[in-house]
Chain A
Amino acid sequence: MSRKKPRRRNNLGYYIKEGVSSIFTHGFMSFASVVIIIACLVIMGSFLLVALNVNDLVEDAEARNQVVAFIDDSLTEEEARGLEFQILATNNVYDATFVTRDEAFQAFVATHEEAELDNLDEEVFRHRFVIDLDNIAYMQVTLDRLLMIPGVDAVRADVAIADFFVSFRNVIVVVFIAIVGVLMLISVFIISNTIKLATFDRREEIAIMRMVGARNWFIRWPFIFQGFILGLTGAVVAFGIQWGMYGVLVDQIVRLSGGNMIQPVSFYEVANMMISIFMGTGFVVGTLGSAIAIRNYLKV
């Protein structure tokens, strides 16, 4: 006998309608899912903003934390300048500026009281390179390498400050990953349970759909959309809350610090990144929760 070819039709509207309808049918569980997602995303967002601000501080520290490489007294100015190529070729060195003995003396004079300059001779100062690093996390290694260059007599840098910032940033990142991981798992679990309830509630309808020849994915898609919509709703609301909270917090910090000490990262600078991360996370959590529920509870 002749078999009819399967009819193809765009059912997107149907899937969305059924997904939304299921959300309202299980209003309380849907509400709980969205609240959990919001909580997770706001906590995640808060850590992310802290991490961004710390990173900003580290970058600032990198910019300020220059290394000074003092050149051996026995080298002439010309010979000392000749070391620039070797210094620039050192790993992690971003830039190096040669400062002559005279320039160093003049700079010192400009920044110190006259009393401090008594009996100070220009000859005390040495030719030097002021060096900017790519990454202050590797400061000590870079210093060791610079010292190995013949003609470099000594190096000076504030390794302790660099280490503090780098350690702080690393701790924030580790805590951030751990908390986000746990929160994501909780969100996925809650969404998965919401979808499980929906599949249980609609089990007779699903059985009828199977019986009249619905394809498996025709049955599954509304549940995927349900999780997806819950995830995205949580993401959008969480973004709004995060924006408001951060704005209030930054105002307080700026006010308390007199507007000079701390300059937090502006939310507008990171808004695009934040909404992308929130939407992406909402999408992944919602879809993953649905997928797990469908895999475990929707046998079609």
Chain B
Amino acid sequence: MTQTFSSTGRDTFVGTPRSRIDGPAKVTGLAKYAGEFAAPGLAYGTVVSSSIAKGRIAAIDSSAAEAVPGVLKVITHENRPRTAWRDKNFQDAVAPPGSPFRALYDDLIVYSGQPVALVVAEDFETARYAASLVRISYERQEPVTDLKAVRGDAYDPPMKREGIKPPPAPWGDADQAFGSAPIRVQGGYSMANEHHNPMEPHATTVVVEEDGTYTVYDKIQGVSNSHQYLVNVFGLKPDQVRVLNPYLGGGFGSGLRPQYQAFLAMLAAQELKRSVRVTLTRDQMWSFTYRGEALQTIALGAGPDGRLAALRHDAVQGTSTFEDYQEVIVNWSGVLYRCDNVALTYRVAKLDTATPGDMRAPGAVTGVFAIETAMDELAYATGLDPIELRLRNYAESDATAQGKPFGSKELKSCFTQGAERFGWAKRDPEPRSMRDGRELVGWGVATGIWESMMMQSSAIATLTPDGRLTVGNSTGDIGTGTYTILTQIAADTLGLPMDAVTTKLGDTRLPEAPVAGGSWTAASSGTAVMKACRNVGEQVFKLARAMENSPLANVDVDRAVFADGRISVAGDPGRSVSLVEVLQAARIDKVEAVEQAGPDKDFNQKYEAYTHSAIFAEVKVDEELGQVRVTRVVSAIAAGKVLNPKTARSQILGGVVMGIGSALEEESMLDHRIGRFMNHNLGEYHVPVNADIYDIDVIFVDEEDKANPLGVKGLGEIGIVGAAAAITNAVFHATGKRVRDLPITIDKLL
């Protein structure tokens, strides 16, 4: 527990494996999620969903529902209380350009499953029953949900989504270079529509306090976003609403934007002047956001030596009729590989669905699947080992950013260490050459990449005379381990044991931080917490120096060492004082600081920042019956400093598991005749179960990065990126069949 105050180099807790500090709460059932907070007189809301995808509501008859004893109110577009009407008030902090969905706004139906009524009752069962009695007749129009059918109508979104880089202008002449390349690979690639399906369904509990203010427990990946949304939509003063969400039962992007259940719960609470909870059903988890399928084409031209002469990557993705959702699908190809002739395009097409949204490594999962599958095809076309091909085309700078160098890029180490651990050298490259009994064995590899980002974030640190430190901000721990790493950082910064530190998150009374997403939370909130703790340390140091007969008299702050709950003098450990003594001597009840942290502009001007991975997969395929098992995965990650190897490893495991789902199982099936996802439940939308998951080995390669003082680059997304391609490539190696449309279900291998 030693920390030289002026340096971040000596860590006691940071960098060591630590069990989650929220573990005891989660294993005893005491951790409360948004739909679990109680309130006196709590009423329950059940949402009625549209059964058609496009048209209008001709009539709603809620009389039978209202007649059920215990029903308090049936709210529809016809009787909804007035709220803000301008759509810009509904625009949340991460909304894409367009006109956000407004529940119960009017009679128009713009997607299947859209909420059309809220039934509020004294208890859950009554609300659920009464909701089944609401009769709605519709004027139905033909929906358009087939992306292939509207591919020709795709357009370059006129308004760009904030934080999403549009494809760079082309360089060289990709088409001409492709035409004259000696070796060419060309193909179309697609992934299915996927739904996030966190285990906790979306829920909001609005508690009406005695003073008329609202305490809102909302399932959200960052409470500040819900707060802003509710304040704007309902025309409230910021201090009239407090939003909390101490625990989130999985987000994966589904909780980035405030969803309609938050709006409806607040609407009902205001109208009824009592506390209301609205929890969505599992089926309704198919009624707001999803990872939209993309139709992609890739053309790679290369010389016999495998060096890329042409790279073309085009993608068309669906969006809703009312917002232009955008993500980065094609740019990764230009970042990963050095090539003189590159063309990257991304367009969107309107569909009668909800607006797609960010889902774990949005865009990268989709685009990297395509380019990394195509690169495997090129490896076979050139006769090169897939790793060798990637190394021959290894980008040392970011061509999509005018050739800026990378702040750090240890991808080569990922390949080396991953290949070693996996035993790649023993691979016979010939498809169908490896067997284990009846099963064909395939080994595949792919690269993963994700942007390393930091967002403006603030944090508070408070030291009290009992020697306890409390830190926190409004971001959420979405299962990533944020509580734990912030505790580690805070404890190290002030030389305290971890159990002397309390970390609070997910409360708008805490300093503002962005939503937890994009793998930016460790860098952003971690740095803010570290700075706030340093500020506290400096204040305490000053107080210590001012003490009567201070052992630190005339010592400069950069010689102060914070360790074991004491401040001592570097090189003279006999001179020391405990933090508790300092605060008691000063007769103050706390030392507190709020600090801001944000991206390092100088660094960002000079460098581009990405995390990378090399992911290796082994599959065993029963050729006759088409059954695929992913029996072994090695994921080697370069993501800067690892704050907590235990929780970090879990992040990667989770990404790989979801990647296996993408590759083999996950597909939300749209019946285009009615514009409706039909397998809207966990029995028929298959996510991996325990039996699907065999050995997963995670390697963190050393990587030094200076984008932020912690040296972290983020881990939430990188684990999933490339997983589907590694599996696709392994399936090809096993069977000789190249599947370019995910998921690889049994029928595609027969």
A binds B: no
B residues at A contact (CB < 8 Å): none
